[in-house]
Amino acid sequence: MAGFDVNAARAQRQEALGRSWSFQLDDETYTLPTELSRAAAKGLRKLDDNDVDGLLRVLLGDKQFERFEQHDITMQDVAAILEAYGKETGLGLGEG
């Protein structure tokens, strides 16, 4: 019996979804990973459930987050971004 090939499964997922998911805000484009690394998941677990900035910093990375927080964005905007991201990638963030 053949074993499960993790690399092949990952390649299949990444072929279907790509390596990143992007959204536009004003004249800028931001990218989020379509799959979370174990390190990112560990970082998310350390956050308080209401730490939206912490969540965005983990997903965007420090450089993108610094650009992102310069925008006048509402919590509804953030919720819409995370909802669209979850639908496209299958990652349920902020649920609990």
**37 neighbors 47 (Cβ within 8 angstroms):** no
Segment 44-54, tens digit of pLDDT: 999 998 999 99
* Residue boundaries of the structural domains of the chain: 6-89
On the question of pLDDT at 91 being above 70, the answer is yes
Nearest Cα to Cα of residue 57 among 48, 89, 18, 91: 48
Tell me the three state secondary structure of residue 96.
coil
Which amino acid does the sequence have at 47? L
Under the banding of pLDDT at 50, 70 and 90, the label for residue 96 is very low
Angle (CA) 27-29-31 rounded to 5° is 165
Based on its alpha-carbon atoms, the radius of gyration of the chain, rounded to whole angstroms, reads 15
- 22-70 confidence digits (pLDDT tens): 999 999 999 999 999 999 999 999 999 899 999 999 999 999 999 999 9
